[in-house]
Amino acid sequence: MSIRKKLEKYIRVYKIFFTAYWKSRLIYKTDFFLGVTSQSINLVFNLAFLTLIFTQVESLQGWTFHEMLLLAGFSGLILNLHHIFGFGLYSLGETYIIEGRLDRYLVRPLNPLFQVYANYISDDNVSKLLVNIGVISYAVFHIETTILTLTNLLYAVLAMASGVMILASIFLAFSSTAFWTARSKAVFWLFFEVSNFRKYPYSIFSTPIQLFLISIIPIAFASFFPVTFFLGRDEWFIWQMLSLIIGPFFYLISYGIWKIGIRNYSSTGS
Partner 1 sequence: MGLLSSVIFLILFYFVWFAIDQSGTIEGGFEQVIAYLVAGQIVSNIAFVETEKFMGERVRRGTIVNELKRPLSLMTQTYFHEMAWMLFNFLTKAVPIAIVGVFFFGIDMPNLINGLFFLFSVFLAFNVVFLFAYSTSMLVFWTKVDWSIRMMRSTAQSLFSGVLFPLYLLPDTLNTVFNLLPFQVMVDAPIQIFIMSATGTEIYEILLKQFIWIIILYGLAYLAWKKARAKLTVQGG
Binding site for partner 1 (CB under 8 A): 28, 30-31, 34-35, 37-39, 41-42, 45-46, 48-49, 52-53, 55-61, 189-190, 193-194, 196-197, 200-201, 204-206, 209
HSE at residue 31, side-chain half, CA atoms within 13 A, is 6
Our CB check for partner 1 shows the closer of 205 and 255 to be 205
The identity of residue 86, as a single letter, is G
The least distance separating partner 1 from the CB of residue 88, rounded to whole angstroms, comes to 17
Our CB check for partner 1 shows the closer of 79 and 102 to be 79
Our CB check for partner 1 shows the closer of 233 and 249 to be 233
The least distance separating partner 1 from the CB of residue 42, rounded to whole angstroms, comes to 5
Our CB check for partner 1 shows the closer of 10 and 35 to be 35
Determine the Cα–Cα distance for residues 63 and 58; give it in Å rounded to an integer.
9
H or E element at residue 64 = strand 63-64
- First-to-last C-alpha distance (Å) of the chain: 34
The least distance separating partner 1 from the CB of residue 36, rounded to whole angstroms, comes to 9
The least distance separating partner 1 from the CB of residue 250, rounded to whole angstroms, comes to 22
Phi and psi of 59, rounded to 5°? -150, 150
The least distance separating partner 1 from the CB of residue 37, rounded to whole angstroms, comes to 7
CB 188 within 8 A of CB 83: no
HSE at residue 236, side-chain half, CA atoms within 13 A, is 20
Our CB check for partner 1 shows the closer of 30 and 266 to be 30
Q: What is the DSSP letter of 55?
A: T
The least distance separating partner 1 from the CB of residue 2, rounded to whole angstroms, comes to 45
170 CA to centre of own chain: 9
Our CB check for partner 1 shows the closer of 197 and 236 to be 197
The least distance separating partner 1 from the CB of residue 41, rounded to whole angstroms, comes to 6
CB 220 within 8 A of CB 202: yes
Determine the Cα–Cα distance for residues 81 and 247; give it in Å rounded to an integer.
14
Our CB check for partner 1 shows the closer of 188 and 249 to be 188
Determine the Cα–Cα distance for residues 244 and 33; give it in Å rounded to an integer.
36
Determine the Cα–Cα distance for residues 74 and 80; give it in Å rounded to an integer.
10
CB 126 within 8 A of CB 82: no
